[in-house]
Amino acid sequence: MFQFVFHDLSTLGQDINSLVDCTEVVPIPAPPQGHTHFPAGLTNKDIEQACAETPFPTLPTDPGPATAVAPVPKPNRK
């Protein structure tokens, strides 16, 4: 049901016959390189499990110090 409603809303106010189908020119992405892992400093204990019926897979953690992310600067408000 949702997909049909969303489709109708996405074309609201548009002439469907004038829209261009771009699916043929969008490239297929390359497969991911490497393996799935946690960045250094994170483990399965950091995951908030959303579905008890499907447990989160056990992933390896990268070695080294915890990955640091720079804080986002606050905008200057005048």
Handedness of CA 18, 24, 29, 31 (dihedral sign): positive
* Tokens describing residue 18: 């004038």
The pLDDT of residue 78 is 67
The pLDDT of residue 69 is 84
Kindly list the distances between the CA atom of residue 39 and the CA atoms of 24, 35, 55, 59, 77, in Å, as whole numbers in the listed order. 36, 12, 20, 10, 34
Kindly list the distances between the CA atom of residue 20 and the CA atoms of 5, 15, 17, 24, in Å, as whole numbers in the listed order. 21, 11, 8, 10
Q: Are 38 and 57 in contact (CB under 8 A)?
A: no
The pLDDT of residue 64 is 93
The pLDDT of residue 3 is 84
Residue ranges, the chain, pLDDT below 50: none
